[in-house]
A = this chain, B = another copy of it.
Amino acid sequence: MPKPRKIEDDELTRKLTAIFKEVGYDAASLASLSEATGLKKASLYHRFPGGKEQMAEEVLAATREILSEHLFPALADAAPPDRKMAAFATIVDAFYASGNESCLLNVLAPPRGQENGRSVAIASIFQQLSDALTQVAEGAGSPAEQAKIRAEQALVELHGALILSKGMADPSVFQRMLTRLPGIVLAA
């Protein structure tokens, strides 16, 4: 009879995600990850033989799944484009706690010149987001090339607002960005 898990994969990943989001990859020590999850370091290595690097990659994989379940469907359904962007803003607002949390894709990105598996996962998620928003922009009447630009601008504003909100300790920057977001993608 094998010992029962103290914590299931889903919950484990959520707690790891929270720490990484809070302090970033480098500052997330195994000690802090252990404390946050309630699993001793040796147990974490049992669940993630690849250590911290693997934990980060599974966190990214889980994030992608959450997007696939909650965000991408909202952008791909049959609703009119303005409805999609309203849903997008709502989901994004919740996802980043109204500008009070950092972006995983940012804080987990390895330094330039040290690209690895994480980098690929991150670039791929950015690309998925860009593609989904591009579709919405095209649905709103933008020609293909312009739709790409609009989607890119939306992601740029989204992530820039998170940086400024944190750097200026002012989440209202994020809120104002949210009001601009739909218009950026929908403008024809």
Q: Which residues of A contact B (CB under 8 A)?
A: 22-24, 26-27, 100-103, 105-106, 109, 111-113, 115, 119, 122-123, 126-127, 149, 152-153, 155-161, 163-164, 166-169, 173, 176-177, 180
Q: Which residue of B lies closest to A127 (CB)?
A: B168
Cα separation A180 to B146 with both chains bound (whole Å): 13
Once A27-B26, A27-B111 are accepted as A-B contacts, the answer to whether A156 and B160 lie under 8 Å apart by CB is yes
Q: Are A22 and B111 in contact (CB under 8 A)?
A: yes
On whether A122 and B160 interact (CB within 8 A), knowing A22-B112, A24-B26, A27-B111, the answer reads: no
Shortest CB–CB separation between residue A117 and chain B, in angstroms?
14
Q: Which residues of B contact A157 (CB under 8 A)?
A: 153, 156-157, 160
Contacting residue for A156 out of B111, B115, B149, B161, CB 8 A: B161
Question: Measured between C-beta atoms, what is the minimum distance from A28 to chain B in Å?
Answer: 9
Whether A152 lies near B173 (C-beta < 8 A) is yes
Q: A155-B160, A160-B161 are in contact. Are A166 and B26 (CB under 8 A)?
A: no
CA distance A155 to B89 in the complex (A): 20
Which residue of the partner chain B has the closest CB to A130? B168
Residue of B whose beta carbon sits closest to that of A172:
B152
A-B contact pairs, 10 of them (CB 8 A): A22-B111, A100-B112, A106-B163, A123-B167, A126-B164, A126-B167, A153-B177, A156-B157, A156-B160, A157-B157
Complex interface: chain B residues within 8 A of A156 (CB): 156-157, 160-161, 163-164, 173, 177
Is the pair B26, A106 in contact by a Cβ cutoff of 8 Å? no
Q: Which residues of B contact A113 (CB under 8 A)?
A: 22
Asked if B161 and A111 make an inter-chain contact with CB atoms under 8 angstroms apart, the answer reads: no
Taking a contact as CB atoms closer than 8 A, the residue among B22, B123, B166 that contacts A109 in the complex is: B166
